[in-house]
Amino acid sequence: MIAPIEQTLAGLRTQTAIWRKAGETIGVVPTMGALHQGHLSLARAARETCDRVIVTIFVNPKQFNNPDDLKNYPRTEQEDAKKLESIGVDLIYNPDGPQMYPDGFATNVSVNGLTDMLCGAHRPGHFDGVATVVSKLFLQTSADKAFFGEKDYQQLQIVRRMAADLDIPIEVVGCPTIREEDGLAMSSRNLLISDRARVKAPALAEVMNELRTALLAGGRMSDLLEDAKAKIVNAGFNEVEYLDLRDGTDLGLLDQPAEGSRLFAAAWLAGVRLIDNIAV
C-alpha cells in the first residue's frame, strides 16, 4: 500500500500524537525526494528498528546557494511514493515551502567549525540551510531516531552536532553509502549526469580507492594528492574541488591515515557536482 502523504504540520502532529500515546517509537528519514536505493536503504534501516517510519520529502530552498541548481533539482514525488510502497513506510511528510517557512520566518541554525571546510567552503550557506530544516524536521516529527547516509558524511557530522547542541532527544544513525555496480555513489544528482558523462563518473571512486591503498601502504597525502587529482581530470572530470584526508569526527585535515580517518572528494563532471567519501 502507498503510504499516506501528509502535507500539513497539523496533520503530521495529529498522527505522531496517536503513535506516541500508543507507546510506539518513530523513525524519520529526511530526504529531498528523487529517491534511489540509498534512500530506500535508510527507510529499511528505520523500518527494522522503529515501530513507525516517516519519510520526509522537501526540496529545501534554504540549502541551495545556486538558483539554477534549485530549479533543476529532480522532483519525482509520485514515483517516490511508489518506491516506498514495498518497505512499509507509515507516512510521507511532504510540506510545501510556506508550510515549512511561513511568512516572517527569521531563524537560522548555524553549526560553527564543521561547516567551514569541504562542501561548506564551496557552498556558502548550504549547511545553515541543512541544519535549519533538519532541526525543524526533528522537532516536527518528534522522532526517536533519524537515518542519514554516510554519502553526505559532513552533513551527518553537522546534524549530529546540531542535535546534541540543541538537546534534541533523537539518535542520529549513519548508514553506509550505497553504490552503483560500477562504484559510483548513489545520489539524486546522478539523474542529471548525461549518458556521455555517466561512463566517466566511476573514475572518482576508482581514484579514491587507489589513493586509499597508497595511503595504507604508508603514503602521504602531500606526496600523492596532485597525481590523484590529475588522474580524476584525465578521466574526464572538469575540476576537482577538493580531495582531502580528514578525521572522521572533527573533520580536521590529515596527511596520513589515523583511526576513523576518511577521504573526501568533490568534483565537477559535465556541469554536475559529485561528492564521495570512503573510510581509510
Query: Which residues pair with residue 148 across a beta bridge?
Result: 174
3-state secondary structure at position 146: strand
List phi, psi (to 5°) of 248.
-80, -10
Which C-beta is closer to ligand PAF: that of 254 or that of 264? 264
Q: Whats the size of the chain, residue-wise?
A: 280
Cell reading at 47: 523500518
Q: Does 94 bind ligand PAF (CB under 6 A)?
A: no
Q: Residue 220 CB, nearest distance to ligand PAF (Å)?
A: 32
Task: Please pick, from the candidates 130, 146, 163, 263, the single residue that binds ligand PAF as defined by CB under 6 A.
Answer: 130
Task: Please pick, from the candidates 27, 30, 120, 174, the single residue that binds ligand PAF as defined by CB under 6 A.
Answer: 30
Specify whether the CB–CB gap between 261 and 254 falls below 8 A: yes
**Interatomic CA distance for residues 242 and 225, integer angstroms:** 10
Residue of 181, 183, 263 whose CA lies nearest to 221: 263
Q: Residue 246 CB, nearest distance to ligand PAF (Å)?
A: 19
Q: Residue 53 CB, nearest distance to ligand PAF (Å)?
A: 15
Task: Please pick, from the candidates 40, 91, 111, 133, the single residue that binds ligand PAF as defined by CB under 6 A.
Answer: 133
Which window, 129-137, 161-169, 245-253, 258-266, contacts ligand PAF (CB under 6 A)? 129-137
CA distances (Å), 36 to each of 64, 74, 272, in order? 20, 12, 17
Q: Is 36 a catalytic residue?
A: no
Binding-site size, ligand PAF (CB under 6 A): 10
Which value, in Å, is the radius of gyration of the alpha carbons in the chain?
19
Q: Does 205 bind ligand PAF (CB under 6 A)?
A: no
Which C-beta is closer to ligand PAF: that of 87 or that of 133? 133
Q: Residue 58 CB, nearest distance to ligand PAF (Å)?
A: 6
3-state secondary structure at position 174: strand
Q: Residue 122 CB, nearest distance to ligand PAF (Å)?
A: 15
Which residues contact residue 123 at a Cβ distance below 8 angstroms, ignoring those fewer than 6 apart?
65
Residues 139-158 close enough to bind ligand PAF by CB under 6 A: 152, 155
- Contact residues toward ligand PAF (CB under 6 A) are 30-32, 60, 63, 130, 133-134, 152, 155
